Structure 1
Amino acid sequence: MYVRVKRKRVAEINVVPYIDVMLVLLIIFMVTAPLITQGVKVDLPKADSESLPQDSKTPIVASVDIDGLFYLNVGDSKSESLEPAELAVLVRARLEVDPDTPVVVNGDGNVPYNSIIQLMVLLQQSGVPSVGLMTESPEQ
C-alpha cells in the first residue's frame, strides 16, 4: 500500500526578476538624470521688473542699436559708437575704479539676439561679474 505524504504548498513569490528590473531602471535613471539637468543657467525675465534702488550707484549702460553698433554711457563720446575693444577697455577701467558699479545692457527691441550675446560676452571678458537687462514697463 502506498502512503501518500501530503506536501505543503509553498506560496512564495520569486522576487529575483523584479530586483533585476529595478536595478536596470535605477541604472537608467542614474545615467539620464545628469543629462536632463544640464543646460545654461539663466535668470528669466519677469513681466513686472524692479528698477534699480534710488541709493544705488549710477550704472554703466552698454547699448546696442538696431545696426548692432555698441555704445557706452562712460567717457567723452556717449553718443558715438565704439569698437568692441574700446568698449572693453572703458568698462574695465571703470570697474577698476569702482568694482561695485552695476552694469546693464540696453538693447533695441528689434536688434538680433546675436548682437546682445556678443555684447554680454564682451562685458564678461571685461570683468563684469553680473549684467542686468534694461526693459520698459508695459503700458497698461
Structure 2
Amino acid sequence: MAELNARGGRRRRTRNEMNMVPFIDVMLVLLIIFMVSAPLMPTGVVDLPSMGKARQAPEKVIEVVVQEDERVRLRVNSQDADTLAVDELAERVKALQGDAEGGASAVPVIISARKDVRYEEVVRIMDVLQKAGVARVGLSVRTTGG
C-alpha cells in the first residue's frame, strides 16, 4: 500500500538523479567561447636548427662505430684502424687526436651505430669520451636517398 501523509495524500519520493541540463548549458557556453577565441590567439613559432655546411672539411675524422658486444671499431678517415673494448676507447682516441696537426680540439669524433644497437650503449660511449676530455663529439646521421 502507498504511504499516506498527514493530509491523506500520497507522499512524493525524492529522486537521486543529477540534473544534467545546467552542466550541458555551461559546457556549450565554454565551447562557444573557445571557438570564438581560438582564431584570435597568436600561434607559436618554433625555430628549428638547420643543418649547415662546414666551410672546410676537417683533414682528419675519427669515427667510433658501436658494436653489440661491448666493443667499438675505430675508423680514421674512413679506413678501419682498430677494434677495441670500451674501456680502452678514451686513451686511444686521445692518442689519435694528439697525432693530428692543429691540436686535439681540431679533430672531430663521430659516433655511429646501427639501428639495432641499444641507445644506452651510444650514451655510454659519449659519456666515456666526455669524461676523457674529448671536446668535439658528434653523432652520425645518415639520410636515405629516394
TM range (shorter): 0.5 to 0.7
Verify the 8 A CA contact 2:70 2:85 in the aligned structure 1.
no
Q: Determine the structure 2 residue equivalent to 1:120.
A: 126
Q: Show the counterpart of 2:114.
A: 108
- Taking the TM superposition and a 5 Å limit, the aligned residue runs for 1:1-140 are 49=51, 55-74=57-76, 78=80, 81-97=83-99, 98-99=103-104, 100-140=106-146
Bigger radius of gyration, 1 or 2? 2
- Residues 78-122 of structure 1: per-residue CA shift (max 9 Å, x gap): 375311232111111122333110111011112101000011111
When the two structures are superposed, what TM-score results if normalisation uses the length of structure 1? Answer: 0.54
Residues in 2 aligned to 1:53 and 1:107: alpha-carbon distance in whole angstroms: 26
TM-aligned CA distance change 1:71 to 1:101, over 3 Å: same
CA distances 1:27-85 after superposition (whole Å, capped 9, x unpaired): xxxxxxxxxxxxxxxxxx97x855666532221101102444211125xx937531123
**Tell me, which stretches of 5 or more residues in structure 2 are unaligned?**
1-47
Distance in 2 (CA, whole Å) between partners of 1:102 and 1:123 is 12
CA contact (8 A) 1:104 1:132 kept: yes
| Two-structure CA RMSD over aligned residues (Å) | 2.8
* 1:131 Cα deviation after fit: 1.1
5+ residue gaps, structure 1: 1-44
Distance 1:117 1:102, change over 3 A: same
Paired-residue identity, %: 26
| 1-structure distance, mates of 2:94, 2:117 | 25
* Partner amino acid, structure 1, of 2:113: G
**Mapped partners of 1:121, 1:112: distance in 2:** 15
